[in-house]
């Protein structure tokens, strides 16, 4: 009987310890949530005609700098930021409260720089609310088995500043591709859910220090999420990042050139030439990039040929490519078998509107002159027919 009583008492003691431990954990999580909350923001940006919703984290209160994912802001250079407002000591989490009070609670943000490789963006805010505090950054990378907590604004719920906890599975260098481009950064892989809208939010350790930025979920594994390690955040903040490229439509507006938007999304400008001819020049809607280099493609169609250009023609094109200040000639074969003679160049996507205008004027002049000198018999009708197919590539 004594043994049985001892067993019951022991089981009771274990249960008491388990409940106490769980209560301590809940209290600790609440402490971390409250500590991280006032560093976390709701980020809204308009890109591609649609509003993108995500999360950001304040990393420098003095300079009013916020970090989020590049794929949250995209090509947008203006954002609206909300920090949580409290009532009776508790955060107001209903989205409608902030949308209905955007003039009072909304803060304008300007995208200063982006790093597509790391999928990070830096936003400068016009002001900060009194309760906003910068999050402390962890000095070291977190390790497997350690606990992590995060706050985000998932689109799957009406609530903002949603808390999630999990465990680190592994930390490693990862190369992969998303809709935002190709990425290569130190990944913190966790056993915790990240939903659409959580991107750009803080992932913190048990001391409330930033260890990563929420980035994506694994499409092949349940509850496996990827975040950008704090070492990448520090590397981005410390790097001499260049200004983020403006959307090409805004740059063209500043050139004061008359332009039209093609059905493919690319932009066309027609230039008057000396013989009253019009030469169309196109600039791509997308920014092409390699690591920290951002460029846009500018091109013009000189001729559409039913047969491949002769060796003499190709040699003239190559010689002219070697002499031109920018760009080069290329010959593309269309889907219907025609040969398109195109002059193409790449321009820095952060170049001034004046630089883009000069580049397009140069491409127009060179293409107009060359197609008369090099290929006198050019069918403008065929050129128009095949240009659309080339634009769609």
| Tokens, residue 37 | 């909350």
| Tokens, residue 340 | 């398109």
Q: Is 150 helix (H, G, I), strand (E, B) or coil?
A: strand
| Tokens, residue 284 | 């791509």
Q: Which helix (H) or strand (E) holds 250?
A: helix 248-255
Q: Is 319 helix (H, G, I), strand (E, B) or coil?
A: helix
> Tens of pLDDT along 207-226?
999 999 999 877 776 788 99
| Tokens, residue 187 | 């990944």
Cα–Cα distance for residue pair 135/200, rounded to 1 Å = 14
171 or 5: which carries more pLDDT confidence?
Answer: 171
| Tokens, residue 348 | 């820095």
> Tens of pLDDT along 234-270?
999 998 776 778 888 889 999 999 999 988 889 999 9
- pLDDT tier at 276, thresholds 50, 70, 90: low
Q: What percent of the chain has pLDDT over 90?
A: 57
DSSP string covering 81-146:
EEPPPEETTEE--BHHHHHTTHHHH-EEEEEEEEETTTTEEEEEES---TT--PPPBPSS---TT-
CA distances from 360 to 75, 270, 343, 357 (A): 22, 10, 11, 5
Biggest CA-to-CA distance, the chain: 113
> Tens of pLDDT along 332-370?
998 889 999 999 999 998 889 999 999 999 999 889 888
- pLDDT tier at 372, thresholds 50, 70, 90: confident
| pLDDT greater than 80 at residue 284 | yes
pLDDT score of 192: 86
Closest CA to 70 of 182, 157, 150, 172: 182
Those residues with Cβ within 8 angstroms of residue 342's Cβ, 6 or more apart along the chain or in another chain: 299, 300, 301, 302, 329, 330, 331, 332, 390
CA angle 73, 74, 79 (to 5 degrees): 30
Strand partners, 304: 340
Q: Which of 61-65, 162-166, 313-317 has the lowest mean pLDDT?
A: 313-317
What average pLDDT does the segment 10-20 reach?
A: 46
132 or 24: which carries more pLDDT confidence?
Answer: 132
> Domains in the chain, ordered, with CATH?
35-238 (2.40.10.120), 248-391 (3.30.1460.10)
Cα–Cα distance for residue pair 270/262, rounded to 1 Å = 13
């Amino acid at each position: 009987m004594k043994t049985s009583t001892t067993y019951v008492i022991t089981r009771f003691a274990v249960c008491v310890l388990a409940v106490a431990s769980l209560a301590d954990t809940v209290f600790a999580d609440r402490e971390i949530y409250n500590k991280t909350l006032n560093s976390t923001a709701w980020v809204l940006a308009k890109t591609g005609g649609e509003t993108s919703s995500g999360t950001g984290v304040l990393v420098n209160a003095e300079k009013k700098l916020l970090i989020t994912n590049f794929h949250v802001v995209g090509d947008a250079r203006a954002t609206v930021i909300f920090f949580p407002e409290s009532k009776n000591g508790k955060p107001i989490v209903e989205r409608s409260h902030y949308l209905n009070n955007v003039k009072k609670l909304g803060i304008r943000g300007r995208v200063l720089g982006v790093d597509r490789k790391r999928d990070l963006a830096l936003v400068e805010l016009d002001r900060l609310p009194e309760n906003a505090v910068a999050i402390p950054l962890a000095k070291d990378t977190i390790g497997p088995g350690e606990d992590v907590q995060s706050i985000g604004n998932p689109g799957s719920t009406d609530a903002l500043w949603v808390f999630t906890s999990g465990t680190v599975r592994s930390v490693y260098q990862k190369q992969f591709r998303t809709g935002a481009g190709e990425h290569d950064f130190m990944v913190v892989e966790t056993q915790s859910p990240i939903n659409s809208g959580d991107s750009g939010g803080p992932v913190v350790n048990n001391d409330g220090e930033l260890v990563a930025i929420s980035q994506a979920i694994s499409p092949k594994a349940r509850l496996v999420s990827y975040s950008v390690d704090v070492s990448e955040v520090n590397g981005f903040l410390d790097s001499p990042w260049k200004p983020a490229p403006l959307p090409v439509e805004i740059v063209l507006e500043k050139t004061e050139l008359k332009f039209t938007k093609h059905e493919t999304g690319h932009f066309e400008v027609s230039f008057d030439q000396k013989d009253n001819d019009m030469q169309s020049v196109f600039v791509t809607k997308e920014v092409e990039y390699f690591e920290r280099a951002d460029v846009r493609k500018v091109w013009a169609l000189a001729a559409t040929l039913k047969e491949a250009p002769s060796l003499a023609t190709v040699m003239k094109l190559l010689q002219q490519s070697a002499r031109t200040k920018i760009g080069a000639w290329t010959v593309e074969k269309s889907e219907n078998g025609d040969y398109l003679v195109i002059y193409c160049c790449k321009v820095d996507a952060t170049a001034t509107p004046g630089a883009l205008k000069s580049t397009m004027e140069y491409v127009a002049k060179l293409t107009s002159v060359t197609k008369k000198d090099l290929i006198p018999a050019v069918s403008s009708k065929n050129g128009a027919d095949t240009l659309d197919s080339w634009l769609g590539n």
